[in-house]
């Protein structure tokens, strides 16, 4: 089915909207709604196609549109959601009240992508430095942050310095752990790639399918407890296997999610679990 673009009709205006056109469109929609975008411009007396009217309304004229720069919290949300959802701008916008998919897409391409690149670059250098540390120590580098004191405890490794807020993504240079400002009571523990290989040397796809079939994430939780992770912490693993992608939905109901990133060589999956909100924990505490 091939259909001509809706704006190809001769005489329909394109390009930037004038204040007069905006006024006509807003007045019409507030009075009559927008049940049929195709018919709307003709009924409203606009020389625009319906698609153009819809975009103008949804991206600019809607009364609930939030104007102004994105806050750090909003940027963090976009980072997080983009990790989870990819370029699904409308899905991301749905979780940012007052922001449009177009706006988020623009800010991603103009600001956030650069920040992410800087962050990943800093991670690469950090990973390199951690690798050097590993060569001088057999101990794992699995870190936690005490939310009260700000101290970082490295499980099986010497303590490291306090870490940075994720709002500082563009400037972080030591990012083996990142706090999560979306929840004041949670902490992300970041396990670097080579450490995860050492820490979970036996993990493969069968391990994860078994894990996910176990109700209440028992094995995962026991692993957390075994390694001293408090139940009110948010933990992050990096694991080199694709089953994490399938895990995303399974963990959704227990306040966890996965994300994927490309380190330039292959794909990795992060698993975030809000440990304190996992159900049926007592037997592991």
Backbone angles phi, psi at 150, to 5 degrees: 80, 0
> Any contact of residue 102 with DNA (CB under 7 A)?
yes
> Any contact of residue 23 with DNA (CB under 7 A)?
no
Instruction: Kindly state the smallest distance separating residue 78's Cβ from DNA, in Å.
Output: 13
Whether the Cβ atoms of residue 272 and residue 189 lie closer than 8 Å to each other: no
Instruction: Kindly state the smallest distance separating residue 111's Cβ from DNA, in Å.
Output: 6
Cα 270 to Cα 285: distance, rounded to the nearest angstrom: 24
**Judged by CB under 7 A, which stretch of 29-37, 191-199, 202-210, 241-249 contacts DNA?**
29-37
> Any contact of residue 106 with DNA (CB under 7 A)?
yes
Instruction: Kindly state the smallest distance separating residue 268's Cβ from DNA, in Å.
Output: 21
- Count residues contacting DNA (CB under 7 A)? 37
The nearer residue to DNA, 87 or 148, going by C-beta atoms, is 87
The nearer residue to DNA, 88 or 226, going by C-beta atoms, is 88
> Any contact of residue 107 with DNA (CB under 7 A)?
yes
The nearer residue to DNA, 25 or 189, going by C-beta atoms, is 25
211 CB contacts (<8 Å, ≥6 apart)? 217, 219, 220, 247
Which residues in the 42-101 window bind DNA by CB under 7 A?
A: 50-52, 54-56, 59-60, 87-91, 101
C-alpha pair distances (Å), 113 with each of 100, 107, 270, 277: 18, 8, 19, 31
Identified binder of DNA from the candidate list 11, 63, 97, 110, rule CB under 7 A: 110
Instruction: Kindly state the smallest distance separating residue 110's Cβ from DNA, in Å.
Output: 3
Instruction: Kindly state the smallest distance separating residue 68's Cβ from DNA, in Å.
Output: 9
Instruction: Kindly state the smallest distance separating residue 170's Cβ from DNA, in Å.
Output: 12
The nearer residue to DNA, 89 or 199, going by C-beta atoms, is 89
Cα 217 to Cα 61: distance, rounded to the nearest angstrom: 46
Which residues make up the interface to DNA (CB under 7 A)?
A: 1, 3, 5, 7, 13-17, 34-39, 50-52, 54-56, 59-60, 87-91, 101-103, 105-107, 109-111
């Amino acid at each position: 089915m091939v259909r001509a673009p809706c704006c190809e009709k001769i005489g329909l205006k394109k390009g930037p909207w004038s204040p007069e056109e905006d006024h006509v469109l807003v007045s019409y929609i507030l009075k009559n709604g927008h049940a049929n975008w195709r018919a709307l411009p003709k009924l409203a007396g606009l020389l625009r196609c319906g698609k153009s009217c819809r975009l103008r309304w949804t991206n600019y004229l809607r009364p609930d549109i939030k104007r102004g720069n994105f806050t750090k919290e909003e940027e963090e949300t976009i980072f997080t959601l983009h990790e989870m959802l990819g370029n699904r701008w409308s899905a991301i916008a749905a979780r940012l009240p007052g922001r449009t998919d177009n706006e988020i897409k623009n800010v991603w391409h103009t600001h956030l992508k650069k920040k992410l690149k800087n962050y990943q670059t800093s991670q690469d250098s950090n990973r390199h430095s951690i690798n050097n540390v590993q060569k001088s120590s057999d101990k794992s580098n699995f870190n936690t942050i005490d939310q009260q004191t700000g101290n970082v405890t490295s499980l099986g490794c010497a303590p490291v310095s306090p870490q940075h807020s994720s709002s500082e993504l563009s400037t972080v240079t030591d990012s083996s752990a990142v706090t999560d400002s979306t929840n004041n009571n949670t902490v992300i523990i970041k396990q670097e790639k080579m450490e995860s290989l050492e820490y979970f040397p036996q993990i493969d796809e069968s391990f994860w399918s078994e894990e996910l079939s176990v109700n209440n994430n028992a094995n995962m939780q026991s692993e957390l407890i075994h390694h001293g992770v408090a139940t009110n912490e948010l933990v992050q693993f990096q694991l080199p296997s694709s089953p994490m992608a399938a895990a995303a939905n399974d963990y959704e109901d227990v306040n966890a999610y996965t994300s994927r990133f490309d380190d330039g060589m292959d794909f990795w999956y992060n698993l975030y679990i809000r440990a304190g909100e996992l159900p049926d924990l007592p037997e592991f505490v």
